[in-house]
Protein backbone atom coordinates (compact mmCIF):
# COMPACT_ATOMS: atom_id res chain seq x y z
CA UNK A 1 0.00 0.00 0.00
CA UNK A 2 1.59 3.29 -1.15
CA UNK A 3 1.47 5.95 1.54
CA UNK A 4 -0.05 9.39 0.92
CA UNK A 5 3.30 11.05 1.68
CA UNK A 6 5.08 8.86 -0.91
CA UNK A 7 2.45 9.72 -3.56
CA UNK A 8 2.97 13.44 -2.89
CA UNK A 9 6.73 13.00 -3.31
CA UNK A 10 6.19 11.20 -6.65
CA UNK A 11 3.94 14.03 -7.86
CA UNK A 12 6.51 16.67 -6.88
CA UNK A 13 9.27 14.76 -8.69
CA UNK A 14 7.10 14.50 -11.81
CA UNK A 15 6.40 18.25 -11.75
CA UNK A 16 10.12 18.97 -11.35
CA UNK A 17 10.96 16.77 -14.35
CA UNK A 18 8.33 18.54 -16.50
CA UNK A 19 9.61 22.01 -15.52
CA UNK A 20 13.24 21.03 -16.10
CA UNK A 21 12.44 19.53 -19.51
CA UNK A 22 10.48 22.62 -20.56
CA UNK A 23 13.33 24.85 -19.37
CA UNK A 24 15.98 23.03 -21.38
CA UNK A 25 13.75 22.92 -24.43
CA UNK A 26 13.21 26.68 -24.23
CA UNK A 27 16.94 27.28 -23.75
CA UNK A 28 17.76 25.18 -26.81
CA UNK A 29 15.05 26.93 -28.83
CA UNK A 30 16.29 30.38 -27.80
CA UNK A 31 19.90 29.50 -28.61
CA UNK A 32 18.84 28.25 -32.01
CA UNK A 33 17.16 31.58 -32.83
CA UNK A 34 19.88 33.90 -31.54
CA UNK A 35 22.55 31.90 -33.33
CA UNK A 36 21.03 32.82 -36.69
CA UNK A 37 20.88 36.58 -36.12
CA UNK A 38 23.83 38.97 -36.09
CA UNK A 39 23.56 42.57 -34.88
CA UNK A 40 26.19 45.18 -35.81
CA UNK A 41 26.22 48.95 -35.24
CA UNK A 42 27.24 51.60 -37.78
CA UNK A 43 28.56 54.59 -35.88
CA UNK A 44 30.42 52.93 -33.02
CA UNK A 45 33.85 53.16 -34.77
CA UNK A 46 34.06 49.37 -34.91
CA UNK A 47 33.90 47.68 -38.32
CA UNK A 48 31.22 45.00 -38.08
CA UNK A 49 30.73 41.92 -40.22
CA UNK A 50 28.34 43.73 -42.59
CA UNK A 51 30.34 46.99 -42.75
CA UNK A 52 33.20 48.22 -44.95
CA UNK A 53 34.17 50.98 -42.52
CA UNK A 54 32.83 52.85 -39.50
CA UNK A 55 33.30 56.60 -39.01
CA UNK A 56 37.01 57.40 -39.11
CA UNK A 57 37.88 53.71 -38.94
CA UNK A 58 38.70 52.59 -42.50
CA UNK A 59 40.43 49.31 -41.67
CA UNK A 60 43.60 50.40 -43.48
CA UNK A 61 41.77 51.04 -46.76
CA UNK A 62 42.76 53.97 -48.99
CA UNK A 63 41.73 55.35 -52.35
CA UNK A 64 44.67 53.46 -53.86
CA UNK A 65 43.60 50.14 -52.35
CA UNK A 66 40.13 50.78 -53.79
CA UNK A 67 41.59 51.05 -57.31
CA UNK A 68 42.12 54.82 -57.60
CA UNK A 69 45.32 56.78 -58.08
CA UNK A 70 44.89 58.90 -54.97
CA UNK A 71 42.60 61.11 -52.96
CA UNK A 72 40.92 60.98 -49.57
CA UNK A 73 38.80 57.92 -48.85
CA UNK A 74 35.86 58.50 -46.51
CA UNK A 75 33.19 56.45 -44.78
CA UNK A 76 29.52 57.03 -45.58
CA UNK A 77 26.60 57.18 -43.18
CA UNK A 78 25.73 53.53 -43.91
CA UNK A 79 29.30 52.36 -43.16
CA UNK A 80 30.19 51.88 -46.81
CA UNK A 81 33.22 53.46 -48.51
CA UNK A 82 32.68 56.92 -50.00
CA UNK A 83 35.06 57.40 -52.94
CA UNK A 84 33.80 60.80 -54.15
CA UNK A 85 37.11 62.40 -53.11
CA UNK A 86 39.20 59.72 -54.80
CA UNK A 87 40.60 60.29 -58.30
CA UNK A 88 42.09 58.21 -61.08
CA UNK A 89 45.13 58.92 -63.29
CA UNK A 90 44.58 61.98 -65.45
CA UNK A 91 42.21 63.62 -62.98
CA UNK A 92 43.52 66.04 -60.39
CA UNK A 93 42.45 65.86 -56.79
CA UNK A 94 40.90 69.32 -57.12
CA UNK A 95 38.70 68.24 -60.01
CA UNK A 96 37.66 65.12 -58.14
CA UNK A 97 36.52 67.17 -55.19
CA UNK A 98 34.75 69.84 -57.18
CA UNK A 99 37.65 72.30 -57.65
CA UNK A 100 37.64 73.90 -54.22
CA UNK A 101 35.80 77.23 -53.98
CA UNK A 102 34.88 79.74 -51.35
CA UNK A 103 34.12 79.01 -47.76
CA UNK A 104 30.76 77.93 -46.49
CA UNK A 105 30.37 75.23 -49.13
CA UNK A 106 30.83 72.29 -46.80
CA UNK A 107 28.24 69.56 -46.40
CA UNK A 108 26.92 69.01 -42.92
CA UNK A 109 26.57 65.32 -42.11
CA UNK A 110 23.07 64.30 -41.13
CA UNK A 111 22.46 62.34 -37.99
CA UNK A 112 20.67 59.19 -39.14
CA UNK A 113 19.14 56.50 -36.95
CA UNK A 114 18.37 53.41 -39.02
CA UNK A 115 17.78 49.74 -38.41
CA UNK A 116 18.47 47.52 -41.43
CA UNK A 117 17.05 43.97 -41.39
CA UNK A 118 18.29 41.38 -43.87
CA UNK A 119 18.02 37.64 -44.32
CA UNK A 120 16.43 34.85 -46.31
CA UNK A 121 12.85 33.73 -46.85
CA UNK A 122 10.94 32.34 -49.86
CA UNK A 123 11.37 33.59 -53.44
CA UNK A 124 8.80 36.23 -54.48
CA UNK A 125 7.01 35.96 -51.13
CA UNK A 126 6.08 38.77 -48.75
CA UNK A 127 7.99 39.39 -45.51
CA UNK A 128 6.38 41.51 -42.81
CA UNK A 129 8.28 43.31 -40.05
CA UNK A 130 6.55 44.19 -36.77
CA UNK A 131 7.81 46.76 -34.27
CA UNK A 132 6.39 46.30 -30.78
CA UNK A 133 3.59 44.10 -32.19
CA UNK A 134 2.59 46.66 -34.85
CA UNK A 135 3.24 46.25 -38.59
CA UNK A 136 6.17 48.54 -39.44
CA UNK A 137 7.03 47.50 -43.01
CA UNK A 138 6.60 44.83 -45.66
CA UNK A 139 8.79 43.84 -48.59
CA UNK A 140 8.75 41.41 -51.51
CA UNK A 141 11.54 38.83 -51.40
CA UNK A 142 13.82 38.55 -54.42
CA UNK A 143 14.16 35.48 -56.60
CA UNK A 144 17.37 34.67 -54.71
CA UNK A 145 15.26 34.40 -51.51
CA UNK A 146 17.05 37.40 -49.94
CA UNK A 147 15.31 40.42 -48.46
CA UNK A 148 16.20 43.72 -46.80
CA UNK A 149 14.01 46.15 -44.85
CA UNK A 150 15.17 49.54 -43.57
CA UNK A 151 13.42 51.45 -40.79
CA UNK A 152 14.45 55.09 -40.58
CA UNK A 153 14.01 58.00 -38.17
CA UNK A 154 13.59 55.80 -35.11
CA UNK A 155 14.08 57.16 -31.63
CA UNK A 156 16.79 55.64 -29.51
CA UNK A 157 15.55 52.92 -27.17
CA UNK A 158 14.72 49.25 -26.88
CA UNK A 159 12.30 47.61 -29.30
CA UNK A 160 10.82 44.17 -29.84
CA UNK A 161 10.93 43.29 -33.54
CA UNK A 162 9.24 40.31 -35.17
CA UNK A 163 9.43 38.92 -38.70
CA UNK A 164 7.18 36.50 -40.55
CA UNK A 165 6.81 35.36 -44.14
CA UNK A 166 3.76 34.56 -46.24
CA UNK A 167 4.12 32.15 -49.15
CA UNK A 168 2.36 32.25 -52.51
CA UNK A 169 -0.50 30.07 -51.23
CA UNK A 170 -1.24 32.45 -48.37
CA UNK A 171 0.27 30.33 -45.58
CA UNK A 172 2.22 32.25 -42.94
CA UNK A 173 5.34 31.26 -41.09
CA UNK A 174 5.79 31.35 -37.34
CA UNK A 175 6.96 34.64 -35.82
CA UNK A 176 10.68 35.14 -35.29
CA UNK A 177 10.96 37.67 -32.44
CA UNK A 178 14.06 39.39 -31.09
CA UNK A 179 14.85 42.48 -28.97
CA UNK A 180 17.07 45.22 -30.43
CA UNK A 181 18.57 48.23 -28.66
CA UNK A 182 18.65 51.24 -30.98
CA UNK A 183 21.17 54.04 -30.40
CA UNK A 184 20.36 57.51 -31.69
CA UNK A 185 22.57 58.51 -34.63
CA UNK A 186 23.69 54.94 -35.27
CA UNK A 187 22.74 52.51 -38.03
CA UNK A 188 22.00 49.07 -36.56
CA UNK A 189 22.20 46.09 -38.90
CA UNK A 190 20.26 42.93 -38.03
CA UNK A 191 21.45 40.27 -40.44
CA UNK A 192 21.28 36.50 -40.79
CA UNK A 193 17.49 36.32 -40.35
CA UNK A 194 16.31 32.87 -41.44
CA UNK A 195 12.53 32.89 -41.74
CA UNK A 196 10.94 29.60 -40.67
CA UNK A 197 9.19 27.50 -43.34
CA UNK A 198 5.46 27.58 -43.90
CA UNK A 199 3.63 24.31 -43.41
CA UNK A 200 0.24 22.81 -44.30
CA UNK A 201 -1.40 19.41 -44.79
CA UNK A 202 -3.76 18.27 -47.52
CA UNK A 203 -6.19 16.56 -45.09
CA UNK A 204 -7.72 17.61 -41.80
CA UNK A 205 -8.58 13.94 -41.16
CA UNK A 206 -6.84 10.97 -42.73
CA UNK A 207 -7.80 7.31 -42.69
CA UNK A 208 -5.17 5.42 -40.75
CA UNK A 209 -2.73 3.76 -43.14
CA UNK A 210 -3.19 6.35 -45.89
CA UNK A 211 -0.62 9.01 -46.68
CA UNK A 212 -0.99 12.63 -45.66
CA UNK A 213 0.85 15.26 -47.71
CA UNK A 214 2.87 17.74 -45.62
CA UNK A 215 4.03 20.70 -47.67
CA UNK A 216 5.14 24.32 -47.53
CA UNK A 217 7.79 26.75 -48.73
CA UNK A 218 11.23 27.74 -47.50
CA UNK A 219 14.56 28.94 -48.84
CA UNK A 220 15.41 27.04 -52.06
CA UNK A 221 17.60 23.97 -51.93
CA UNK A 222 17.44 23.55 -48.17
CA UNK A 223 17.10 20.41 -46.08
CA UNK A 224 13.67 20.29 -44.47
CA UNK A 225 13.16 18.35 -41.24
CA UNK A 226 9.53 17.42 -40.57
CA UNK A 227 8.43 16.41 -37.09
CA UNK A 228 5.16 14.51 -36.48
CA UNK A 229 4.22 13.87 -32.86
CA UNK A 230 2.66 10.65 -31.66
CA UNK A 231 3.36 8.37 -28.69
CA UNK A 232 6.85 8.82 -30.05
CA UNK A 233 8.03 11.70 -32.26
CA UNK A 234 8.81 10.89 -35.89
CA UNK A 235 11.40 12.88 -37.85
CA UNK A 236 11.60 12.83 -41.64
CA UNK A 237 13.75 14.76 -44.08
CA UNK A 238 13.16 16.10 -47.56
CA UNK A 239 14.56 18.94 -49.70
CA UNK A 240 12.99 22.12 -51.01
CA UNK A 241 13.17 22.69 -54.77
CA UNK A 242 14.51 25.69 -56.71
CA UNK A 243 11.38 27.68 -55.74
CA UNK A 244 11.67 26.71 -52.08
CA UNK A 245 8.65 24.37 -52.25
CA UNK A 246 8.79 21.09 -50.33
CA UNK A 247 6.47 18.08 -50.11
CA UNK A 248 6.56 14.94 -47.98
CA UNK A 249 4.00 12.11 -48.09
CA UNK A 250 3.81 10.74 -44.56
CA UNK A 251 2.58 7.16 -43.99
CA UNK A 252 0.06 7.33 -41.13
CA UNK A 253 0.11 3.60 -40.41
CA UNK A 254 2.71 4.30 -37.67
CA UNK A 255 0.39 6.74 -35.87
CA UNK A 256 -2.25 5.93 -33.29
CA UNK A 257 -5.81 7.10 -33.77
CA UNK A 258 -6.48 10.69 -32.66
CA UNK A 259 -5.05 14.18 -32.92
CA UNK A 260 -1.51 14.87 -34.16
CA UNK A 261 0.69 17.86 -34.91
CA UNK A 262 3.33 18.40 -37.58
CA UNK A 263 5.99 21.11 -37.84
CA UNK A 264 9.09 21.72 -39.93
CA UNK A 265 12.40 23.58 -39.93
CA UNK A 266 15.07 24.33 -42.53
CA UNK A 267 18.84 24.04 -42.55
CA UNK A 268 21.34 25.47 -45.03
CA UNK A 269 25.10 25.92 -44.83
CA UNK A 270 25.16 25.17 -41.13
CA UNK A 271 22.34 27.60 -40.27
CA UNK A 272 19.04 26.30 -38.89
CA UNK A 273 15.72 28.12 -38.87
CA UNK A 274 13.31 28.01 -35.97
CA UNK A 275 10.38 25.58 -36.22
CA UNK A 276 7.35 26.46 -38.27
CA UNK A 277 3.89 26.77 -36.84
CA UNK A 278 2.39 23.45 -35.77
CA UNK A 279 -0.39 22.21 -38.04
CA UNK A 280 -2.94 19.70 -36.74
CA UNK A 281 -4.67 16.71 -38.29
CA UNK A 282 -6.66 13.70 -37.10
CA UNK A 283 -5.96 10.03 -37.78
CA UNK A 284 -9.31 8.29 -37.95
CA UNK A 285 -11.54 5.99 -39.98
CA UNK A 286 -12.19 8.35 -42.89
CA UNK A 287 -10.47 11.01 -44.99
CA UNK A 288 -11.51 14.68 -45.07
CA UNK A 289 -9.61 17.01 -47.39
CA UNK A 290 -8.37 20.41 -46.16
CA UNK A 291 -9.20 23.70 -47.84
CA UNK A 292 -6.54 26.16 -48.89
CA UNK A 293 -6.72 29.54 -47.12
CA UNK A 294 -8.29 32.43 -48.96
CA UNK A 295 -5.94 35.36 -49.07
CA UNK A 296 -7.55 38.53 -47.78
CA UNK A 297 -6.59 41.60 -49.84
CA UNK A 298 -4.64 44.13 -47.80
CA UNK A 299 -6.48 47.05 -49.39
CA UNK A 300 -9.41 47.72 -51.72
CA UNK A 301 -11.94 45.33 -50.15
CA UNK A 302 -14.52 48.02 -49.41
CA UNK A 303 -17.47 45.70 -48.68
CA UNK A 304 -15.48 43.14 -46.64
CA UNK A 305 -16.19 40.11 -48.84
CA UNK A 306 -12.47 39.20 -49.08
CA UNK A 307 -12.43 40.17 -52.76
CA UNK A 308 -11.62 43.30 -54.75
CA UNK A 309 -13.98 43.54 -57.72
CA UNK A 310 -16.62 45.69 -59.43
CA UNK A 311 -18.62 46.05 -56.21
CA UNK A 312 -15.68 47.77 -54.55
CA UNK A 313 -15.05 49.79 -57.71
CA UNK A 314 -18.65 51.07 -57.58
CA UNK A 315 -18.26 52.12 -53.94
CA UNK A 316 -15.06 54.00 -54.74
CA UNK A 317 -16.66 55.57 -57.83
CA UNK A 318 -19.44 57.01 -55.68
CA UNK A 319 -16.88 58.84 -53.54
CA UNK A 320 -14.75 59.95 -56.49
CA UNK A 321 -13.78 63.62 -55.82
CA UNK A 322 -16.47 63.92 -53.14
CA UNK A 323 -15.53 65.63 -49.87
CA UNK A 324 -14.82 63.68 -46.65
CA UNK A 325 -14.73 60.10 -48.01
CA UNK A 326 -14.67 57.21 -45.49
CA UNK A 327 -11.18 56.21 -44.44
CA UNK A 328 -11.79 52.69 -45.78
CA UNK A 329 -12.36 54.16 -49.27
CA UNK A 330 -9.48 56.63 -49.17
CA UNK A 331 -6.82 53.98 -49.78
CA UNK A 332 -3.77 56.26 -49.62
CA UNK A 333 -5.11 58.41 -46.75
CA UNK A 334 -4.78 61.76 -48.54
CA UNK A 335 -8.32 62.91 -47.74
CA UNK A 336 -9.78 62.31 -51.20
CA UNK A 337 -10.66 59.52 -53.64
CA UNK A 338 -8.96 59.95 -57.01
CA UNK A 339 -7.02 57.99 -59.62
CA UNK A 340 -4.34 57.08 -57.08
CA UNK A 341 -6.91 55.14 -55.05
CA UNK A 342 -8.16 53.36 -58.17
CA UNK A 343 -4.58 52.42 -59.02
CA UNK A 344 -4.15 50.88 -55.58
CA UNK A 345 -7.43 49.00 -56.04
CA UNK A 346 -6.24 47.70 -59.41
CA UNK A 347 -3.07 46.36 -57.76
CA UNK A 348 -5.12 44.28 -55.29
CA UNK A 349 -7.80 43.32 -57.84
CA UNK A 350 -9.10 39.73 -57.48
CA UNK A 351 -12.12 39.87 -59.79
Confidence of residue 101 (pLDDT cuts 50, 70, 90): very low
- How far apart are alpha carbons 304 and 315 in whole angstroms? 12
Q: Is 302 left (phi over 0), alpha (psi -120 to 50) or beta?
A: alpha
| Residue 327 belongs to a domain | yes
Q: Are 243 and 144 in contact (CB under 8 A)?
A: no
Residues 150 and 64 in one domain: yes
Per the confidence metrics, is the pTM higher than 0.85?
no
**Segment 189-199, tens digit of pLDDT:** 999 999 999 99
Residues 71 and 180 in one domain: yes
- Between vectors from CA 76 to CA 70 and to CA 79, what angle results, nearest 5°? 110
Q: Are 188 and 178 in contact (CB under 8 A)?
A: no
Residues 263 and 207 in one domain: yes
pLDDT at 308: 85
**Segment 38-70, tens digit of pLDDT:** 777 777 788 877 788 888 889 899 999 988 888
| Residue 106 belongs to a domain | no
Of 35-39, 111-115, 129-133, the poorest mean pLDDT is in 35-39
Residues 44 and 164 in one domain: yes
Residues 41 and 183 in one domain: yes
Residues 213 and 333 in one domain: no
Q: Are 169 and 293 in contact (CB under 8 A)?
A: yes
Residues 175 and 263 in one domain: no
Residues 170 and 236 in one domain: no
Task: Using the 3D structure, point to which of 142, 162, 195 is the last residue of a domain.
Answer: 195
Q: Are 35 and 26 in contact (CB under 8 A)?
A: no
Q: Quote the domain boundaries for residue 345.
A: 296-351
3-class secondary structure, 321: coil
| Residue 91 belongs to a domain | no
DSSP string, 198-213: P-EESEEEEETTSEEE
| Residue 103 belongs to a domain | no
Instruction: List alpha helices for 47-170, DSSP H.
Output: 93-96
- Between vectors from CA 128 to CA 54 and to CA 180, what angle results, nearest 5°? 40
Residues 73 and 45 in one domain: yes
| Residue 135 belongs to a domain | yes
Residues 78 and 184 in one domain: yes
| Residue 227 belongs to a domain | yes
Kindly tell me if the per-residue pLDDT of 173 is higher than 90: yes
Q: What is the mean pLDDT of residues 181-203?
A: 92
| Residue 7 belongs to a domain | yes
- How far apart are alpha carbons 189 and 150 in whole angstroms? 9
| Residue 3 belongs to a domain | yes
Residues counted in the chain: 351
Amino acid sequence: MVSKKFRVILILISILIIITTAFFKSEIFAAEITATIKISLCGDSVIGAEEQCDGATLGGATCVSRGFSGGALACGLSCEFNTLSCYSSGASSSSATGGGGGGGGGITAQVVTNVIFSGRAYPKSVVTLLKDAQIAATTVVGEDAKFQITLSDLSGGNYIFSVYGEDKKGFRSSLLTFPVGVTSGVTTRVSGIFVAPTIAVDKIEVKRGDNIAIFGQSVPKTEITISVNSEEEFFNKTDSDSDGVYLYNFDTSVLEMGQHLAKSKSSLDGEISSFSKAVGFTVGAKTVMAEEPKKVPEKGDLNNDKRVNLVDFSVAAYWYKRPSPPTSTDLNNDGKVNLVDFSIMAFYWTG
